[in-house]
Structure 1
Amino acid sequence: MENLLLIAFLDIKESVRARWFIVYTLVFGGLIALFFIAGVTESQVMGFSGLSRLLLMYIQVTIVILPIFILITTVRSISGDRDNHILEYMLSFPISLPQYYWGKIIGRFTTVFLPVFFAMILALMIGTIKGANIPWNIFLLYSGLLFALSAAFLGISFLISSIVKSSEVALGLSFFVWIVLLAFIDIALISLMMQQRLSEEIIIAISLINPMEIFRVAAISLFDPELTVMGPVAFYILDNIRLSLFIVFSIAYPILLGLGFAFFGFTIFKKTDLV
C-alpha cells in the first residue's frame, strides 16, 4: 500500500511540474472566469439564468475538451515511461507491477479530475459572493458526471498506453478514439436511421454505449426533463427508463466501463515485454 501511494504521489508531482497541467488548469479555470466576465450569470436564455446557466455552458464545453485532454495527457503515461527507460528504472526497486500500474492510475486521475472539479467550486464561490442562488442538485449531478467521464477515459487511456509501445502511435490512436466517440458514431447512426437499415431500438442502444452520449443526455436532463432537444433518443429513453434511473446509470456505467478498460489494460501490461 505504501508503494502504491508513493507511485501515485510521484505521478502527481510529475504532472504538476508539467506544462500540460498548467494549461489544463488554466483552460477550465479560465472558462469559469470568462463566463463571469461575459455576464453569463446575469442573462437568461430559455428560462435558465444565474449559476444554472453558467454550469450548463461549462458542462457543454467540458464534454468536448475533457476527454481529449485526458487522452493526450494520459495515453503516454506507461508508453512514455517505457520509451524514456523510466519503467525499467522504477521496476528495479521493490515495486510490483500492480503497485506501479494502479499507482499511476490513482495519481493521474487526481490530476485530471481535481482541476475541473475545483473550477466548478470556484464558480459557486464567486456566485455566492455575488448573491446568486446555488443550484446544489445541478452541482452534485455534474460532479458525479465529471467523475464518471474522467474514469471512463482514464481507463481507455491506460488500455491504449498498455497496448502501444510507441508514444507517437499512442497519441495518434487517442485522437482517433476521441473523434470516433465525438462525431463518427452519431453521424453513422443517423445515416443508418435515415436509411432504415437497423431498427431504431438497436441504433439508440448503440448510441447509449458511448459514454460521451450518456454524459450529454444526463447533463441536459435537469434542465429539460423531457429531453425535447434530444429528438428520437429522448423518446426512447423516456419510454423505457425512468429519468432518475437513467441518471444513476449515467454515472455508474462510465465508471464501470473505465474500470473494465483499466483491468484489461493491466492484464495486457503484465503479459507483454515491459522494456
Structure 2
Amino acid sequence: MKNLLLISKLDIIESFRSKWFIVYLLIFSGLIAIFFVSGVTNSRVLGFSGLTRLLLLFIQICIVIVPIFILISTVRSISGDRESGLLEYFLSFPLSLKEYYFGKVLGRVFVVFTPLLFALIISVLIGIIKGTKIPWDIFFFYTLLLLALSVVFLSFGFLISSIVKNQEMGQGVAFLLWLILIAFLDIALIGLMLKSAIRETTIYAIALLNPIELFRIAAISLFDPNLAVIGPAAYFILDKFTPTMFIIYTFGYSIIISIFCFFIGYYVFSKKDLV
C-alpha cells in the first residue's frame, strides 16, 4: 500500500507540472466564468434557470470534451514511461507490477477529476455570493456523474496504454475511439435506422452501451423525466427503465466496464515485455 500511494503521489506531482493539466484546469474553470459573465444563470430555458441551468449546460459540454482530454493524456501514462525508461527505473526498486499499475490509476483519477470538482465548487461559491439558490441534490449527483465518467474513460485509456507499443499509436487509437463514440450519439445511429433493416430497439440498446450517450441521458433525465429532448429513443428507455432504475443502471454499468478494462489492462501489461 505504501508503494502504491508513493507511485500515485509521483504521478500527481508530474501531472501538476505538465502543460496539459494547466490547459485542462483553465478550460473548465473558464467555462464556469464565461457562463456567469454571459448571464446564463439569469435566463430561463425549458423551465431551467439559475445555477440549475448552468450545471446542466456545463455537464453537457463536459460529457463531450472530458473523454478526449482523459484519453489523450492517459494513453501516454504507461507507454510514455516505457519509452522514456522510467518504467525500468521504477521496477529497479522493490515495487510490484500491481503497485505500479494501480498506483498510476489512483493518481490519474485524482488528477483528471480535480479540475472538474474545482470548477463545480467555483460555480457554487459564485452562486452563493450572487445569492442564487443552490440545487444541492443536482450538484452532488452531477459530481458523482462526472467522477464516474472520468473513471470509465481512464479505464479505456489505461487499457489502450497497456496494449499499444508507443505513445503516437496510443493517441491515434484514443482519438479514433472518441470519434466512434461521438458518432454513435446521433449521426451513426440515425444512419443505421435509415439505411438498414435493424430493429429500432436493437439500435437503442447499442446506444445504451455507449458511455457518452449513457451519461448524457442520465444528466438530462434529472430535469426531464419524460426525456422529450432525445426524441423517439425516450419511448424505448422509459419502457425498460424508471428514472431511478436508469440512474442505477448508469452507475452500475460504469463500475462494471471500468473494473473490466482496468483489470484487462493490468493483465496485458503484466504479460508484455516491460522495457
| Superposed pair shares fold, TM > 0.5 | yes
The amino acid across from 2:137 in the alignment is N
Where structure 1 has 5 or more consecutive residues not aligned to the other structure, the ranges are none
The amino acid across from 1:249 in the alignment is Y
The amino acid across from 1:175 in the alignment is F
2:61 alignment counterpart: 61
Q: Tell me how far apart the structure 1 counterparts of residues 189 and 34 of structure 2 sit (CA, whole Å).
A: 35
1:110 alignment counterpart: 110
Q: Tell me how far apart the structure 2 counterparts of residues 196 and 142 of structure 1 sit (CA, whole Å).
A: 36
Matches within 5 A, 1:98-247: 98-184=98-184, 186-247=186-247
Asked if 2 retains the 8 angstrom alpha-carbon contact of 1:50 and 1:132, the reply is yes
Q: Tell me how far apart the structure 2 counterparts of residues 183 and 71 of structure 1 sit (CA, whole Å).
A: 17
2:249 alignment counterpart: 249
Q: Deviations over 1:202-223 (max 9, x none)?
A: 1111110000000000111112
What TM-score do the two structures reach when normalised by structure 2? 0.98
2:94 alignment counterpart: 94
Q: Deviations over 1:35-70 (max 9, x none)?
A: 111111111112111000100110111111100000
How much has 1:130 moved relative to structure 2? 0.7
Asked if 1 retains the 8 angstrom alpha-carbon contact of 2:204 and 2:233, the reply is yes
Q: Tell me how far apart the structure 1 counterparts of residues 38 and 252 of structure 2 sit (CA, whole Å).
A: 35
1:268 alignment counterpart: 268
The amino acid across from 2:122 in the alignment is L
How much has 1:185 moved relative to structure 2? 5.9
Question: Residue 184 and residue 217 in structure 1: after superposition, are their counterparts in 2 closer, same or farther (change >3 A)?
Answer: closer
The amino acid across from 1:91 in the alignment is L
CA RMSD of superposed structures (Å): 1.0
Asked if 1 retains the 8 angstrom alpha-carbon contact of 2:184 and 2:210, the reply is no
Matches within 5 A, 1:22-101: 22-101=22-101
Asked if 1 retains the 8 angstrom alpha-carbon contact of 2:160 and 2:174, the reply is yes
Asked if 2 retains the 8 angstrom alpha-carbon contact of 1:192 and 1:198, the reply is yes
> How many aligned residue pairs are there?
275
Percent identity (aligned): 57
Q: Tell me how far apart the structure 2 counterparts of residues 235 and 195 of structure 1 sit (CA, whole Å).
A: 21
Q: Deviations over 1:103-134 (max 9, x none)?
A: 00000010001110121111011101111111
Q: Tell me how far apart the structure 1 counterparts of residues 253 and 118 of structure 2 sit (CA, whole Å).
A: 24
Q: Tell me how far apart the structure 2 counterparts of residues 77 and 191 of structure 1 sit (CA, whole Å).
A: 36
Q: Tell me how far apart the structure 2 counterparts of residues 191 and 26 of structure 1 sit (CA, whole Å).
A: 37
SS in 2 for 1:77: helix
Q: Tell me how far apart the structure 2 counterparts of residues 115 and 256 of structure 1 sit (CA, whole Å).
A: 25
1:259 alignment counterpart: 259
Q: Deviations over 1:159-198 (max 9, x none)?
A: 0000002100001111000000011463232222123511
The amino acid across from 1:270 in the alignment is S
SS in 2 for 1:109: helix
After TM superposition, where is structure 1 displaced by more than 6 Å over at least 4 residues in a row? none
The amino acid across from 2:267 in the alignment is T
SS in 2 for 1:274: coil
How much has 1:98 moved relative to structure 2? 0.1
SS in 2 for 1:134: coil
Q: Tell me how far apart the structure 2 counterparts of residues 170 and 195 of structure 1 sit (CA, whole Å).
A: 33
Asked if 1 retains the 8 angstrom alpha-carbon contact of 2:184 and 2:207, the reply is no
Q: Tell me how far apart the structure 2 counterparts of residues 255 and 13 of structure 1 sit (CA, whole Å).
A: 27
Where structure 2 has 5 or more consecutive residues not aligned to the other structure, the ranges are none
Q: Tell me how far apart the structure 2 counterparts of residues 245 and 78 of structure 1 sit (CA, whole Å).
A: 37
What TM-score do the two structures reach when normalised by structure 1? 0.98
Q: Tell me how far apart the structure 1 counterparts of residues 274 and 68 of structure 2 sit (CA, whole Å).
A: 26
Asked if 2 retains the 8 angstrom alpha-carbon contact of 1:186 and 1:207, the reply is no
Q: Tell me how far apart the structure 2 counterparts of residues 227 and 184 of structure 1 sit (CA, whole Å).
A: 18
How much has 1:256 moved relative to structure 2? 2.1
Q: Tell me how far apart the structure 1 counterparts of residues 173 and 196 of structure 2 sit (CA, whole Å).
A: 31
